[in-house]
Amino acid sequence: MRTPRISGSRCRVLLAAFALAAALDLASLAVGFHGGHVIAKPLLMPLLAAWAAARGAPRLLVAALLCGWGGDVLLLSDADPAFLAGMTCFAAGHVCYLALFTRDGTPRARTALLAPGYLVALVTTVALLWPDLPAGLRVPVAGYSTLLVAMACAAAVRLGPVAGLGGALFLLSDTLIATGVADWPQPPRPNLWIMLTYLAAQFLLATGTRRALEARPGPMATYGEVRSTTP
């Protein structure tokens, strides 16, 4: 089921507001202004979800983005319970994405070859991280990683390159978080790279899903009508 679409001008305002909040967040992280990050981060996914809903996106897509909002807010805290709760929110978002990709996506024979690569990446990453993760986080991180890799693989295999790139960037972003938790060496300003890849991931998943559904023949073809009237 899709959300009803609204006027193109409002869509443009919402997209501009998301871009502004993203710029503020990334700039704050780049210069070490924590206050700006605290203000901007909770605005990001609600704005992106509102834009997606305004474009007539499926409700599962909007739900996935709002689950990301819950995770974003919880991860503003450094406490272990907040980290686990945030990971649970993101896991729920991946379930929404998987349900959507399975229901509305179309398998692509060539990209199906990516599945073994994603499986190898999952097993290798979890095996390398496992000894360095806190004992209480090993199983949750392994379970979450399995769900994340399944989402990233399904995005590529069932929706095409745009959503596939979004899934891959989500995987990269969360791998940076996991290596930080494992106390591995980090790049300068690691939170900047985490947020940059995460924001790109969510935006590409949203736009890639919409484009893939617009391109479908049959009942979903009416979705393409939105494209002609809104950006």
Q: What is the DSSP string of 105-128?
A: ----TTGGGHHHHHHHHHHHHHHH
Spatial separation of the C-alpha atoms in residues 41 and 68, rounded to whole Å: 11
Beta carbons of 8 and 229 less than 8 angstroms apart: yes
CA–CA dist 86, 70 (Å, integer): 7
pLDDT digits (tens, 9 = 90+) for 6-52: 567 889 999 999 999 999 999 999 999 999 999 999 999 999 999 99
Residue 4 has what pLDDT? 55
Q: What is the pLDDT of residue 8?
A: 77
**Phi–psi pair at 169, nearest 5 degrees:** -70, -35
Check the CA dihedral 76-82-85-91 and report its sign. positive
pLDDT digits (tens, 9 = 90+) for 131-157: 999 999 999 999 999 999 999 999 999
State the number of CA atoms in the 13 A half-sphere of 60 facing the CB.
17
What sections of 32-79 are H helices per DSSP?
34-54, 59-74
What is the spatial distance between Cα 205 and Cα 96, in angstroms, rounded to a whole number? Answer: 12
Q: State residue 108's pLDDT score.
A: 73
Percent of the chain with pLDDT over 90: 78
